[in-house]
Amino acid sequence: MSTNTTPQQETDETNDQLPTDPEAVTVADTGAGLLVFAEADLPGRELIGFAGVDDWGVIRDALRHRGLGVGATTNLPVFPVEAIPQ
């Protein structure tokens, strides 16, 4: 097994986990997938999941670059790209 492989399971609960306000959701395109953020209770945004991931190694690098823990790759959901508000 490659060290760049992180097992993920797409969720069917996107309506329950994505904010109902589309303005509250923002994404960062890493070139290998999307980091999905939502407005946090405190000022700022929090990472709530991923979408359209092709390379988890690039996602981990993007998380490190932003000072976020790479454990999020195994703990946060993967949303279908179609579920992300435009």
For each of the chain's 86 residues, which pLDDT tens digit applies?
Answer: 455 655 555 544 433 478 888 889 999 999 999 999 999 888 889 999 999 999 999 999 999 999 999 999 999 999 999 999 87
Torsion of CA 21, 19, 71, 63, to 10 degrees: -10
Beta bridge partners of 38: 25, 46
SS3 19: coil
CA 2/CA 41 separation, integer angstroms: 37
Say what the pTM is: 0.77
| Boundaries of every domain in the chain | 21-80
